[in-house]
Structure 1
């Protein structure tokens, strides 16, 4: 039996999961969960990363005897270290307004292959007042790994979200980094590489962008699949061997991010269940009764990717203003789910058209796989079967990459995905 600890940090919560690989199966158990969210300091929105680190240490103690540790988190945000390796300030939250109005330079897509998101790391650095004082930049998982091990590096899958990687070479782009301080960006490492050790336990680089880990655990039976990693964001796309850098791809706002084993995650960001989470926070109410009622009402379609929905705040009012009519809570919930399902379908259709990758099954993984109404509406909108689960795809992908690194499992992504199918409950939705 092999046991590993997966540290999985999301935009609203974090947890430490103990994963056990034995008898051809992978099992996970959450041993510690903790809240995460934005912290206002002055006129900026930050993350409390030292607080997250304290919670990670607590979780690792609860995990017991383990053979490896791996860390994944959301993308793009970073900490800056001074010349002595100390954190200059709490990292700024990607939903902060400091990058409002930033425009991408011409020709950028041909180099980094990323859809334009104003909060990508390269644009945050344009608005970074502490850059002249910085000795090195570490993305969030790499920062926590550094605090555990004393060793610095930049895990590849997350580094590709910064906008500073040349998608063709898989290396930091000399052109895109030429105006940054020398040695600001650390050496790249890849999933499965050693990231040091913590009290004698190996720390293993995993797909440290949480979506990269989630895609590892998509239980696909062949290559003809699309995935929707559905949580705060919906990441909708296909897995490719090479990037798609055409003008049509750029116009469709598709991104080419690095995946495990040299794959490309060709996807579009959709605003996701953030819309629903913010409504529930405003209403201070439970979701399940609203979902039951929403199944029997009509909603109104809106564009979930409109930037007006990006900041935290009064989401129900913004949705009603966009739709131009007052709605009940159930109608707002149905409007969110209908609009997300249509956005999912549009992204799946565009991914096929732009990449040439045909799809016969759509996999929804992550917390959104529990939302039966959203899964059915997505199947209806796509006109394709939807397989829902595993809900814990990110943690499972993290665990599986570690398990392979320490020799507990072997093989390709297809072999890891077979292990997921053998181990995890899945649900199938057919289009109506």
Structure 2
């Protein structure tokens, strides 16, 4: 059986991982660099591609002809625009860039209201959705926008640079708020009313579609074999992670994909676009198996990460072990935040630090401000656990599903404090793991594509056996 390469790009770091369902090895890790240029926040795509190729070189050097395929997953909503010659026409904006501020209401009014947009796309209203990013491009960079002939999400774009093949993978397309989960194609009515050119939006392909081999120049550079295929895996990282939820056959797979964001949800056969789903902020994205990931976006470890970055910028050395110890010592502190508040979305800025926003939140809600690093962590973790509990209750009310357990997957599941507090707040038995869920799910989809697995459930069953999963009781 071959090994497979998962290129997994998160909002903080990227990894090139080689493995199968038994074992994964990170052969290269790098920062997913972004830069502020004249007040605008952009991803350094060329730098990311260079890091990916460096990781692939290491992978082929170590494993050679044992490698059968490559799959790419990244965060959602971000994209590149290409001209008729296949060249980028602009820098790639970061979803946290401020240019979309205020556009939700403007665009919604233009399209007949939020209820209409939600009914057609099933996507919750977030300022970073691709719909608003393209509206901002149309407004602010219209001459550039008119030159564009092809829209490619970030993972589609990277796959294009590896293969020369332009396709739009379905799970990622479903995050744009320009995809219709009922017709299973682009939301053409909305696209037309926004006066976005139809030609921008190309063929949508399912997760597991074989795109083709590496282009000859890249294959030569990487010293890769001709037989290695690039596969449109579950290109949205959450879709990949959910593919690796190690559920028991027949169990309702309630999950939290925990990382920079916390994505809490469940797999359904059909979208839910009810008024209650809209008002509670739930979204309908597509899973790797074609089902619907009915979920809610909750701010995750981003808030913690920004606090730590600030302290490190002050010259302090932060030990995660010591930070956990301080957190446990500060459990008596009663303050907490609401991580769904959009004030916590932006990165640290001059005069606008994450720790200051936490202070302000606590003061506004008659809570004592944190006075130590441990208390800041308590405020964040307790706030996350409470937000999870509220969202679980809402999900159960909307879907009517019986829920008895919760799977926390991804890097955030290593935080055993939050795992336990989540079990206590939700009243559910919590299973934590696998840590490398995104890469493993990416690999599961690749194995399905090449015939090494006959079903997603078989892959999940194997992961339950092979991967370490911890259990936390309320």
**What range is the shorter-chain TM-score in?**
over 0.9
* Structure 2 CA distance for aligned equivalents of residues 174 and 80 of structure 1: 18
Q: Which runs of 5+ in 2 are unaligned?
A: 220-225, 313-317
Matches within 5 A, 1:32-431: 32-64=28-60, 65=64, 66-102=67-103, 103=105, 104-105=108-109, 106=113, 107-128=116-137, 129=141, 130-178=144-192, 179-198=195-214, 199=219, 200=226, 201-221=228-248, 222-284=250-312, 285-297=318-330, 298-313=333-348, 314-324=353-363, 325-327=368-370, 328-411=372-455, 413-431=456-474
Deviations 1:280-317 (A, max 9, x none): 00111222212112113224122111111111011111
Deviation at 1:61, TM superposition (A): 1.2
Between 35-44 and 152-161, the greater mean CA deviation after superposition = 35-44
**TM score, norm. by length of structure 2:** 0.88
Deviation at 1:90, TM superposition (A): 2.1
* Structure 2 CA distance for aligned equivalents of residues 331 and 115 of structure 1: 32
Deviation at 1:17, TM superposition (A): 0.4
Deviations 1:183-230 (A, max 9, x none): 101100111111121132211111100000000000111332310000
**TM score, norm. by length of structure 1:** 0.97
Q: Secondary structure at the match of 1:244?
A: coil
Contact kept, 8 Å, 2:71 with 2:232, in 1: the verdict is: yes
Contact kept, 8 Å, 1:225 with 1:360, in 2: the verdict is: no
Q: Secondary structure at the match of 1:30?
A: strand
Contact kept, 8 Å, 2:17 with 2:28, in 1: the verdict is: yes
1:31 corresponds, among 24, 27, 33, to 27
Q: Secondary structure at the match of 2:235?
A: coil
Specify the structure having the higher radius of gyration (Cα). 2
Q: Which runs of 5+ in 1 are unaligned?
A: none
* Structure 1 CA distance for aligned equivalents of residues 198 and 119 of structure 2: 24
* Structure 2 CA distance for aligned equivalents of residues 92 and 398 of structure 1: 25
Aligned-pair RMSD on alpha carbons?
1.1
Q: Secondary structure at the match of 2:71?
A: strand
Contact kept, 8 Å, 2:33 with 2:48, in 1: the verdict is: no
Contact kept, 8 Å, 2:336 with 2:378, in 1: the verdict is: no
Contact kept, 8 Å, 1:341 with 1:377, in 2: the verdict is: yes
Deviation at 1:43, TM superposition (A): 1.6
Contact kept, 8 Å, 1:225 with 1:358, in 2: the verdict is: no
Deviation at 1:160, TM superposition (A): 0.3
Contact kept, 8 Å, 2:307 with 2:354, in 1: the verdict is: yes
Q: Secondary structure at the match of 1:304?
A: coil
